[in-house]
Chain A
Amino acid sequence: MQQIQYTGEHLWIQYLGYGLIILAFVSALYTSLTSFLSRRQDDTDVKVAMERWSRYGLQFHAVSLFSVIGLILYMMNAHYFEFHYVWEHVSDDLPVKYILSAFWEGQEGSFLLWMFWNIVLCALLWRRRDEFTFLNTGIIMSVQAILLTMILGVYFFDYRLGSNPFLLLRQSMDIPLFKNPDYVSLIKGNGLNPLLQNYWMLIHPPTLFLGFASTILPFAYALSGLISKKYLDWLRPSLQWSLFAASILGLGILMGGIWAYEALSFGGYWAWDPVENMSLVPWLVLIAGIHAHLIARSTPYSVRSVFVFYFLSFALVIYSTYLTRSGVLGDSSVHAFTSLGLGWQLVGFILLSLSVPLYFLLKKRKEIATPSEEEQFSSREFWMFIGSLILLFSAVLITFTTSIPVYNKLLDLAGGLINQDFKSWHRSAPVDVVSHHNRFQIWIAVIIGFLSGLTQFLRYAGQRKIKLGWKQITPVIISAVAAMMITGISAQWLNKTFTSLYVMLFAAWFAIFCNVYYLFTLKLGGAKHWGSGIAHAGFGILLLGIISTGINRRNLVPERFFQEDSVFQDNKDNVDKHFLLFRGETKFVSGYQIDYLSDTLEGRFRKYHITLKSQDSLGNENFIALNPDVQYDNKMMKVAAANPYIKHYWDHDLFSLVAQIPRIQMDAEEASKAEDSLRYHHYVAGVGDTIDGERHRFVINASDTGWRSHEVPMSEGDLGLQLRMVAIDKADTARNALLAPSLVLKSSTAYRFPSNDGRLGLRIEISDSVAYRLAEERNRFKPVQFRLKPGQSIELAKDLKVKLTGFDKNPQSEDYQAISGDIAVAAVLEVEQDGRLSIMKPIYLIRGREELPLPSMDLRRGLRMFFEHIDPETETMDFSYSRFELPKRFPLRIAENVPRTDYIVMEIIHFPGINLVWIGSLLMVAGLAWASYQRKK
C-alpha cells in the first residue's frame, strides 16, 4: 500500500507521549524495586544508596507522569483532533473550563488522575516518614506500574496491553476519510457529554478518585506490616491515613449524590446504580476496618480482622474499577465507561490484589498474636466488632446483587469451555432495584444506629474484667427517653404512623442523642474523640434524612375529582408523575397554582419560566419561580438533557424538571418533518369576507400597513401588511381565537410572519405573492414634499387636507426613546382624509448632528407623515407624506392540523428533609476528617 504523507498532524506529541508513558512505567518499576531492596540491605551504605535511588526514581516518575498529563491537557486545549482522545472528548465549542472534565471523562484520563493522586499520596507519606515508608512506596509504585499498563497501548503478540491516550484517530479506525492527506483540517471533535458539562464534574471525579486512590494507604501499611513482621507497629502511623481515606472517599460519594440530585433527571440522590454501589462498598469495608483498627489499637483483639478489612477494601476498589470499565455492566448502569478491551487486564489486577495479600496473610497468620480469651460481652470492643461485621454484611449484600452481570459473564465463560450456551441461565437485576436494596440496607442502618449510640459509652476492656456501671447506663437511658419522645413528634411531622417507621425514627434519634450527649461529656482534652461523636451523630441525621425523603417524597399532581384507574394500584407512584402544562393556561397541582409563562432559548439551553403560587393560612400569596431547562446537544440538533431546577428551603426542596417538550422543539429533523406534514389550503379573501375552512370559519376584520416587531423594526421605505382575523371552530363556536398574520417588505426582502394558535391547531400566513404587489406599490409612490407655517393649512389632494396647529415639545411615540442630548419636537397636524379628522404627530429629532425624522403613521389608511426640517429664519417647516393603497384581496395559506407547541410535560417533586441527608453526610465526612487530623499529632 502506498504511504500517505499526512499534513497538519502533530506527531511530535505522539512520540513524546509514548516516550513519557514508557519512562513513567519504567521509573515506577525502578522505584518500587529500589524501595523493596533498600529494606533488605544490612550494609548501611548500600541501604542509604538504595533509598536515595528510590527517591530519585520517584521524582523522575512524578515528572514523567505529570508531563504525560500536561501533554494531554495541552493537546486537548489546542484542539488537536487528529488524536483519538482529543477527538472523542473535546469539541471546538467546548468552554475552556471544561477541558479538565473532558480529560477525566475517558478511561485513560481517569486512570491518569488516579495515578496522579498515587504520586501525591507518596509525597504525603514521605513528608511524614516512618519505618514503613519505603515498603509503602514499593507497594504503591507496584500498583502504579500495573495502572500504567492500562494506558501503555503496546502489543504482546495479538493482545493489546492498555489503551494509549496518544493514539491517532486514523490509527483507531479505518475509514475512507484517511485517504485524504489533509484530513486533519476536515475533522471536528465529538465533544463532551452535555450531562457532564457541569461544575460538579470538575470537583466530583478528582475527589472520588483521590478517595479510591487513598484506600491504598491502609492497604500498603497492612501489607508492609505483614512483610516486615511488625504486625502491630503499623497500626499506629496508619490510622490517620485510614481515616483520611474514609473521609475523602465519603466526600467523593457524597458529591456524586449531590451531582445526581442537582443535575440528573431521576429526582433523587441515590439510585442503587451499580457504579454508585461499587463506590459505597469499599467505603463500608474501610469503615469496618477502621473500627477493627481502633479495637486493635486499644486491646489485643481484632488484629487479623484489620488486615482482612483493609485488603478487602482495596481489592473492592479494583473490582469496582473492573465493573465500571470492562463493559461487563453493559446496559445496567448509566455511568459505565465504554469498554476499551481492558477486561482481562483488570481481572488480572483483581486477582493480584487479592492473592498477594492473601499469600502473606496465610503465611504469617500464626505469627500474629491473638489473645486466648474472648471479648467480654459488656466491652466496647465486642460491640464495635459486631458493628464492623454488620457493615461487612451490608457490603456483601450490595455486592451480591450488583455482581449479577459478572455471574452471567462467568456462566458464558464456563459455557464456552464446554461448548454450551448458557444464555437461558442469565439472570437480571431485581425488577425494583431500589426497594430491593432498601429492604436490607434500611434495617442494617437501623442496627448501626443503635450500635453507634450504645457503644459510645462502653469502655475498652482488653484482658481486664469490667462491669457495667451507672456511668454507662445513665446516658443510654436518658437518650432513649429523649429519642422516644421526639420519635412521636417526628412521625407526626412525616404524617405517617406505622410500627417500623417508629423503630427507624427511634434508631436515628437514639444515635443522635447518644452522640450529642457523648460530645458534651468530653472535656476539652477529649478533642481526639470529637470526630467519633460528630460522625456518628451525623449518621443518625443522615438516617433521619433518608427516612423522611424516602417516605414523604411526593410528586405534585394535578387536582382531580376521581381516582386513577385501578390497574396500577401497586404502582401509584408512577401514575401522574408527569403533568401537562400549556403556556398561558393555569393549572392546579397539589395545592399550588401553576403557570407556564414562557420559554427562552439561551445558547444551547431552552429555559422555562414557570411560577407556582400558593396561599398560606393567613391568605398571603407566595410566589415561587421555577426555571428548569433543557439542553441541546453540541450541534443544536437534538435535546441532550433535561436539567432540573431545585428550589431549596430549610425543611424541604422543590425539584422541578421539564420531562417532555414538543417534538419539533426537541429535534431539528422532527421540526422539518412536522413542517412538511402540514396541510395548507389556499384562499383569497378581502376585509369583511368569511373563509369556510375545513374545521373553522375565518373572518377578516381589518387590514393595515402596520408592523411592529422587535426583531425586525420598521424603517423608512418599509412596507407592511397585517390582517386582523377571527377563527371560530365550526363545531364549537366557544372555541375561537384572534390571529394576525403579517408580511413585511424591507428593501428587497419579504419577511413572513405567520400567526399560530396552538389550541385550535391553526397556522395562517399571507402568501408571498402579496410581496410583489407591495413592492409594486412601493415603487409607484414617492414621498410628496410640502411646507407649512404654524396655523397654515394645505390641500394636498382632493381628499387630503393638513393643518399645522402647533407643536409638542415632549413628543411621545412607540418608536421614540429619549436619550439625553436629543432635540426633539413633534408637529401637531390636523389631517382631514376622506372627510374624517385625525391628529398626527410626526417627530423632528436631532440626535448628535443628524436630523432623524420619525414618521407618524395612520396604519388603517396607509398614510405616513414625516417632519423633515425646520428653517428657524423663515419659520417654515418642511414635511413630506406618502400614501399607498393596500390590496383589496389577500391570498392566504391556512393549515388546520398544526401540532401544539405551546406545552411542556413537567414533573415537580416535594422533598422533605433532604437537607438532613446533606448535613448528616457532611458531618460524617467532617468527623472522619477531624479524627484523621487529630491522629496526625
Chain B
Amino acid sequence: MKRSIIIALLLVGVAIALLISASRDITSYASFADARISGNLVKIVGVLDKSKEMNYDPVADANRFTFYVKDKSNESLKVVLHAAKPQDFELSEQIVVTGRMAGDVFDATDVLLKCPSKYKDEEVYIKSKS
C-alpha cells in the first residue's frame, strides 16, 4: 500500500508542477503601453486602423508588411510584420499581434486575424448580381 501512495503523491506532485509551468505560458492580452514597459514578447488584441496607411511592397522586401493597429486602450501604433502580408487582411474584424516593442514601432512575429467568414454573413446572394 505504501508504495502506491508514494507513487500517487509523486505523480500528483509532478502533475501540479507541470501545470504550474504550463500556466506560466498563458498570457493576458496586453496593450502597447504594457509592451513598452515590459519589453517582453506579448500578444496585443486590437483592430486594424484603417485611417492610416498599410504598406506591403514585396518588390522592395517580401518579408516586411507595415500597418497600424488600435489596441484596447485606443492607442494606434505602427506594427511591422516580418512576413508576407496575410490574405484577407483588410477584412479583419480583429487582429491579434504577437511581438515586442522595438523603438517606436511594434515588431510582430505573428498575426492572427479574425475575419467575418463569408459563411457567417447573413447576406443573400442574388443571381443577377454575378
Contact = CB atoms under 8 A, between A and B. Distances in A.
B119 A374 contact: no
B83 A440 contact: no
A635 B59 CA distance: 29
**Most chain-A Cβ atoms within 10 A of its Cβ — which of B4, B22, B114, B126?**
B22
A325 interface: no
A428 interface: yes
A576 B87 CA distance: 18
Given A88-B119, A190-B118, A567-B107, A401 B82 contact: no
A188 B18 contact: no
B107 A431 contact: no
B99 to A, nearest CB: 9
Interface stretch (A392-400, A605-613, A709-717): A392-400
A427 B27 contact: yes
Given A389-B11, A660-B62, A574 B83 contact: yes
Contacts of B118: 190, 633
Interface in B1-56: 1, 3-4, 7, 11, 14-15, 18-19, 21-23, 25-29, 41-43, 45, 56
B15 A190 contact: no
12 contacts: A169-B124, A173-B122, A190-B118, A190-B125, A331-B96, A377-B3, A386-B7, A397-B18, A427-B28, A428-B29, A430-B27, A578-B84
B26 A429 contact: yes
Contact of B109 (A330, A571, A633): A571
A308 to B, nearest CB: 14
A187 B127 contact: yes
B112 to A, nearest CB: 7
Interface residues of A, number: 60
Interface string A299-331: 000000000000000000000000000000011
4 smallest beta-carbon distances between A and B, as pairs: A430-B25, A331-B114, A580-B62, A578-B84
Contacts of B28: 424, 426-428
Contacts of B126: 177, 186-188
Contact of B22 (A173, A427, A436): A436
B107 A401 contact: no
B67 to A, nearest CB: 15
A574 B26 contact: no
A401 B25 contact: yes
Contacts of A175: 122, 124
A568 B119 contact: no
A436 B18 CA distance: 12
B76 interface: no
Contact of A331 (B4, B27, B56, B94): B94
Interface string A170-194: 0001010100000001111110010
A404 B14 CA distance: 21
Contact of B63 (A428, A429, A578): A578
B85 interface: yes
Nearest to B107: A567
B130 A188 contact: yes
A374 B19 contact: no
B73 to A, nearest CB: 12
B57 to A, nearest CB: 10
A699 to B, nearest CB: 27
B59 A427 contact: no
Interface string A617-651: 00000000000000001010011001000000000
B102 A567 contact: yes
Contacts of B7: 386
A426 B127 contact: no
A332 B45 CA distance: 12
Contacts of A397: 18-19, 22
A331 B92 CA distance: 11
A881 interface: no
B29 A193 contact: no
A424 B45 CA distance: 12
Interface in B82-130: 82-85, 87-88, 94, 96, 98, 102, 107, 109-110, 112, 114, 117-120, 122, 124-128, 130
Contacts of A580: 58-59, 62
B26 A186 contact: no
A426 B29 contact: yes
B8 to A, nearest CB: 9
A577 interface: yes
Contacts of B107: 567-568
Contacts of B84: 577-578, 659-660, 905, 907
B35 to A, nearest CB: 12
A427 B7 CA distance: 33
B29 A374 contact: no
B15 A396 contact: yes
Contacts of B127: 185-188
A707 interface: no
A903 interface: yes
A903 B58 contact: yes
Contact of A440 (B18, B43, B125, B130): B18
Contact of A428 (B1, B26, B130): B26
A648 B88 CA distance: 30
A88 B125 CA distance: 10
A635 to B, nearest CB: 6
Given A173-B122, A186-B126, A905-B58, A568 B82 contact: yes
A905 B62 contact: yes
A387 to B, nearest CB: 12
A900 interface: yes
Given A374-B3, A427-B28, A431-B42, A577 B122 contact: no
A190 B119 CA distance: 7
Interface in A365-380: 374-375, 377
A330 to B, nearest CB: 7
Interface in A177-222: 177, 185-190, 193
A195 B10 CA distance: 47
Contacts of B25: 401, 430-432, 436
A578 B59 CA distance: 12
Contact of A577 (B22, B63, B94, B124): B63
A377 B29 CA distance: 48
Contacts of A527: none
Given A374-B1, A430-B25, A578-B62, A393 B15 contact: yes
Contacts of B119: 88, 190, 193, 338
A331 B112 CA distance: 8
Given A430-B26, A578-B63, 7 more contacts: A330-B114, A426-B29, A428-B28, A432-B98, A574-B82, A633-B118, A638-B88
Interface string A889-904: 0000000000010010
A834 to B, nearest CB: 48
B62 A635 contact: no
A431 B98 contact: yes
A53 interface: no
A633 B117 CA distance: 13
B1 A401 contact: no
A635 B125 CA distance: 11
A258 to B, nearest CB: 23
A649 to B, nearest CB: 26
Given A88-B119, A426-B29, A660-B84, A400 B22 contact: yes
A784 interface: no
A579 interface: yes
A429 B59 CA distance: 35
Contacts of A905: 58, 62, 84
Nearest to B11: A389
Interface in A816-840: none
Contacts of B120: 338
A273 B45 CA distance: 19
A635 B123 CA distance: 15
Nearest to B121: A190
Nearest to A425: B28
Contact of B43 (A401, A428, A642): A428
Contacts of B62: 578-580, 660, 905
